[in-house]
Structure 1
Amino acid sequence: MRENAPPKQLAFDLPLDPRYGREDFLVGTANEAAYASIEAWPDWPDTVLVLTGPPGSGKSHLASIWATRAHAWTVSAADVTAEAVTHCVSNGALVIEDIDRPGRDEAALFHLLNLARERKCPVLLTSGAAIDQIGLTVADLRSRLRLAPGVAIREPDDALLRAVMVKLFVDRQLVVDLRVIDALALRIDRSLGRAREVVAELDRDALGRGRRITRPLALAVLERLGIAEGGEDGEEDGEDD
């Protein structure tokens, strides 16, 4: 063991509270249509809007922005039961998250959408995949959601991916060189969910080692995650070329 090696710190896997304010949402070509749809409320063409996008793409952030504007409740699709339908629409606006996940009561969801339309209660639904891909078995619900206006978040372009990674590091009170951002952006999947995973892993790794986040460390973490080859041999924190 090197005499000057920094002491190893304990890395506690504490949850990071995401910031879901309107000012925290980064708009790019991948999500500008979705953001515009949220901003267009209350002038929606229907009481229902279906927001789709891959995990980590910003659906919950947009839903939170809309919930704040519309004074809406937010519930998981799994919590929409026959007994809860009337209560869910009693507030006047509702977000239903993750309708693509198992555990949903499709009959209750269909009843809720009908009641919401009757009471002119706006409903925003989020899904990790398109309606035709989530395996709905109740034909009436499938038809209702197919006919509802929908907007999708696409894969981020390079500029948005880099901007989001900078924000993720800033949210964790981490300052990194732009060369680290460049190295990550060139190697990870074009996915905001993947960006969050990598930044969290880098945060844990740097804290555990008592080191700052450098390009060689970033490449080593990517290698450990099975995403890319590691950094150059012999490079230390101070030799980050």
Structure 2
Amino acid sequence: MPENAPPRQLAFDLPLDPRYGREDFLVGPANEAAYALIEAWPDWPDSVLVLTGPPGSGKSHLAAIWAERAHAWTVPAADINADAVQHLVSNGALVIEDIDRAQSRDEAALFHLLNRARELGCPLLLTSGTGIDALGLATPDLRSRLRLAPGIAIEAPDDALLRAVLVKLFVDRQLVVDLSVIDSLALRIDRSLGRARDVVAELDRDALGRQRRISRPLALAVLRRMGFDDEGEPSG
């Protein structure tokens, strides 16, 4: 190590708790229809709503906003089994997260839960990373029931929303960066809020380890390490 180089610090990968309040949700063209429907509750077209979107798109955030409004329990689809159905629907409202995770999905229990919830008037919000037809459901009745449920999708963010989310992610980590860093990141990364979260976390770890602020050159170096190229980057 050069004599004058700052010592590298250990960057502990501590979990950063996401903030899921209504005031923390950034609304843009990609998610405004989904947000409006969540806010419209209890004036829904049906007691069941399926919310779809790619990883990191804000499904869990919207589900948390609705859960607070509806005083709902939140449970992963993997935790639904025959023994748990009656207990789950007894609360009066329920969020079922990640029904697209086929490896840990009990389709018979999920179908039974949908039926019992409808009988008892228990509103349900289900989240999924894919549409119903892409779930590969082996139970025809469950597939039919979910197809009949109203659905709303979160789309890929536009440039303005992506930039706003990047700013928020840095602020959440108490990091101050120049606008040039935001522009460089938004120009390169996938139009995915999940990818934005990954990139900001990696920048935070790298900057802490090097004891350096997050500059544009550092951001570009980290992006290259993560597999992003410089195509389309403005000079200067």
* Same topology, TM > 0.5: yes
TM-score, length of structure 2 as denominator length: 0.96
Give the corresponding residue for 1:237.
Answer: none
Whether 2:57 is the aligned partner of 1:73: answer no
Give the corresponding residue for 1:191.
Answer: 192
Distance 2:4 2:167 in 1: 31
- How far 1:192 moved relative to its partner? 0.5
Whether 2:183 is the aligned partner of 1:169: answer no
- How far 1:5 moved relative to its partner? 1.6
Match of 1:125, SS state, is strand
Match of 2:83, SS state, is helix
Whether 2:116 is the aligned partner of 1:111: answer no
For the 8 Å contact 1:220–1:229, the answer to whether it is kept is no
Match of 2:152, SS state, is strand
What residue identity is the alignment partner of 1:29?
P
Residues 176-216 of structure 1, C-alpha deviation per residue, up to 9 Å, x if partnerless?
00000000000111111110010000000000000000001
Distance 2:4 2:132 in 1: 57
TM-score, length of structure 1 as denominator length: 0.94
1:123-202 equivalences under 5 Å are: 123-202=124-203
Give the corresponding residue for 1:99.
Answer: 99
Match of 1:83, SS state, is coil
Residues 133-166 of structure 1, C-alpha deviation per residue, up to 9 Å, x if partnerless?
0111100000000010000000000000000000
Match of 2:212, SS state, is coil
- How far 1:95 moved relative to its partner? 0.2
Give the corresponding residue for 2:223.
Answer: 222
For the 8 Å contact 1:75–1:96, the answer to whether it is kept is yes
Whether 2:12 is the aligned partner of 1:12: answer yes
- How far 1:10 moved relative to its partner? 1.2
Distance 2:223 2:119 in 1: 51
Consecutive aligned runs of 4 or more in structure 1 exceeding 2 Å deviation:
1-4
For the 8 Å contact 1:184–1:218, the answer to whether it is kept is yes
Whether 2:52 is the aligned partner of 1:56: answer no
For the 8 Å contact 1:56–1:193, the answer to whether it is kept is yes
Residues 15-50 of structure 1, C-alpha deviation per residue, up to 9 Å, x if partnerless?
000000000000000000100110010011111000
What residue identity is the alignment partner of 1:61?
H
For the 8 Å contact 2:8–2:209, the answer to whether it is kept is yes
What residue identity is the alignment partner of 1:170?
V
Residues 102-141 of structure 1, C-alpha deviation per residue, up to 9 Å, x if partnerless?
2110111011011101111000000000010011110000
How many residue pairs get aligned? The number is 232
Distance 1:141 1:195 in 2: 34
Give the corresponding residue for 2:82.
Answer: 82
Match of 2:84, SS state, is helix
Match of 2:90, SS state, is helix
Match of 1:51, SS state, is strand
Distance 2:180 2:22 in 1: 29
Percent identity between the two aligned chains: 82
Residues 52-74 of structure 1, C-alpha deviation per residue, up to 9 Å, x if partnerless?
00000000000000000100000
For the 8 Å contact 2:188–2:230, the answer to whether it is kept is no
